[in-house]
Structure 1
């Protein structure tokens, strides 16, 4: 999981060290459905998140749910659980 210097998390907007989150988890890339419906660029697409947000997303949803239902930043932001987490995370250091 690559990390970068302090920037803004794409969910909570905190300025901290970030990690790359694949919008379609890498575990799903080898499955026939994803190979058929997504090109390589779409499979590699992702967003930069702080560790707190990244861990929370994976705690809330399994890989298949993330891949099929929350495979974009806009879709992640529609999740009530993610919205509640963002409100809490914004208050953290």
Structure 2
């Protein structure tokens, strides 16, 4: 599992912070036939770099199946009203040193 790999700009909140890798189709779904038949291994491995706070929020709001079927692109994540409101809130938070 990829954890804090580098500092950069979170593609959800826009803050410059440590980033983590978020699989657009959660790894838990990769072994299911529905996803094996519809996506290549390369597509299943695709993801985005997000800060830990945004990453936690994504998984707090939606379960893995919903994320895999409905929110498998950065555009769909940012277009969701609940998530976009949360990302806007995160963008206003101060970054703790460390």
Normalised TM-score (structure 1): 0.97
Give unmatched runs, 5+ long, in structure 1: none
State how many pairs are aligned: 93
- Please state if 1:14 is matched with 2:6: no
Listed as ranges, the gaps of 5+ residues in structure 2 are: none
Moved over 6 A (4+): none
CA RMSD after TM alignment: 0.7
Shift of residue 78, structure 1, vs aligned partner: 1.2
How far apart in 2 are the matches of 1:5 and 1:33? 33
What is the SS of the residue equivalent to 2:7? strand
TM-fit CA distance, 1:49: 0.4
What is the aligned partner in structure 2 of residue 28 from structure 1? 29
Q: Give the Cα–Cα distance (whole angstroms) in 1 for the partners of residues 87 and 60 of structure 2.
A: 14
